[in-house]
Amino acid sequence: MKFTAVAATCLSLFSQVLGEINVAGPSSSKVTLPATFKPPQVFKNVNLVHVISLEKNYAKESINVLIENASSEPQDEYFVPFTSDQMERIGGFEVKDRKDASVTGFVVEAVELDRLSDTQYYRIRLPAPLPAKGQQTLGISFYYLNSFAPLPAAIQQSEKQYLVYEFSAYCQSAYPTLKQKTEVKLPSSDVPDYTKIAGSGEAKEFPQKQGSKLTYGPFPELPAGAVSPAKVRYEFTKPVTHVSLYERDIEVSHWGGNVAFEERYTLYNHGANLSAQFNRVKWAQSQYFNPQSYALKELKIPLRVGSKDAYFTDAIGNVSTSRFRSNRREAVLELKPRYPVFGGWKYPFTIGWNADSKNFLRKKSGDSYLLKVPFIEGPKQPEGIAFEQIQVRVLLPEGAENVKFYTTIPQSAITDFTVDLQRTYLDTIGRTVLTIKARNLVDDFRDRDLIVSYDYSLVASLRKPLIIFSSMMTVFVGMWAISKVNVKFSTK
């Protein structure tokens, strides 16, 4: 789809999206309800399939459920329960219609109850009220960060790493479920331990193991709130890469025709710690046959075609162990940290690059402009990467006004946004800066769009050149005036 068509569609959503975010306030998109609140039993889950994917270093859960309105009145509010601990780690909550992709308008909000209560909710507003006995198939997906625990917690640098994940064999639901099953997808078939429960029907015991997949169920009718605690321990000899703080600056220059990107990472490996001191000699020897390791050795960051002037620095300075490839087909920045990042280790670093503004910036009409950039980019790793706190800053030219934005990341992930001024070199009133804060996103949301609309008049664009010109003229005139002053002593 052409950029202009996408931009026109997104602009039509600006007023609605911004209005919803303003209502949410700086904390998050939340609705406050009494501490005694219990979801009314107006729905029932006719058939539910719960899929838990542990193939990357974060947990992704998908709930495909056929819901039915069990009341005599139309209903449009469906609640999904979570524990208080899960609410702190959940992110990327999205809902769609599984049978009709054209159905949009699902609104997701976190319900705020008494913080001492262990049960919290997300509320889903359906695009249209569901009539009595009406049915709809929902596809609900979300992610959990910081959800694994290495077991053993400390291992040798050449050992295999095993992770433990806790879940419920019954999908948590605020409504009765007539039929359901839970599938657990693992990265390998090396699964030494997992919870076993009594089966039903022809199956005497659950789960049924097929290669790297465990299947609990199908289960018969279960009441609302039913849970069955379970855990699985599986082999994951890959880095558990976690970015606690991801800061991304996007600086737009109209005069230079350039968009400058800079990203700052506070990166951790949440895998197993080393049980002994790191042995660099042993590490160097092992690299000749390149064994699988839970240490982070390199990062690959695909950039937009046409990117240039890439750099890689850390707390010490420039890091030379990087490679930047840019041609007509691709642009890839390959990074190698100064040391392998084992479990429990930290590595903060900064990367940046430039790009031609014509690839991201369009003039809409008159003095209006549209900027379309990825909300997050970052590394693209086979094992995945999680971002806990995200801050995206868009630095617009001095004098930019009427700033609006739209993004395709889940609205529930946005916690705050502001529009401020920041003074830099040769500025008078300062540059307009849009700051968006989000939390608990993963690399599955890489390249989701951020579209910024703003007005930038000709007068504003000429402000800085005129200020520079007038300042230089003032200096020259001042020097000329000083040169005409006669400072000699009179001979009379």
Could you give the maximum distance between any two Cα atoms of the chain, in Å? 125
C-alpha torsion sign, points 123, 128, 129, 133: negative
Q: Is 430 left (phi over 0), alpha (psi -120 to 50) or beta?
A: left
Considering the chain, what percentage of its residues have pLDDT values greater than 90? 62
Task: Give 398's Cβ-side CA count (13 Å radius).
Answer: 18
User: Minimal CA–CA distance to 109: which of 13, 30, 2?
Assistant: 30
- What lies within 8 Å, CB to CB, of 477 at 6+ separation is none
Give the integer Cα–Cα distance in Å for 379 and 38: 42
Structure tokens at 250: 């996007």
The pLDDT value given to residue 116: 63
* Residues of the chain with confidence (pLDDT) below 70: 1-35, 113-116, 426-427, 459-461, 489-492
Place of tokens 């800053």: 393
CA angle centred on 111, ends 171 and 93, rounded to 5°: 55
Place of tokens 């109209």: 254
Question: Bridge-partner residues for 293, per DSSP?
Answer: none
SS3 state of residue 14: helix
Q: Is 17 left (phi over 0), alpha (psi -120 to 50) or beta?
A: alpha
How many residues in total does the chain contain?
492
Give the integer Cα–Cα distance in Å for 247 and 436: 10
- Which helix (H) or strand (E) is 57 found in, with range? none
CA distances from 272 to 55, 278, 313, 345 (A): 17, 13, 27, 10
The pLDDT value given to residue 104: 85
CB atoms within 10 A of CB 12: 10
150 class by beta-carbon count within 10 Å (0-12 exposed, 13-18 middle, 19+ buried):
buried
- Which helix (H) or strand (E) is 142 found in, with range? strand 135-144
Task: List pLDDT tens digits, range 25-46.
Answer: 333 455 666 667 789 999 999 9
The pLDDT value given to residue 447: 81
Query: Strand 59-69 vs strand 193-194: parallel, antiparallel, or unpaired?
Result: unpaired
The pLDDT value given to residue 103: 86
Q: What is the pTM assigned to this prediction?
A: 0.86
The pLDDT value given to residue 461: 67
The pLDDT value given to residue 21: 33
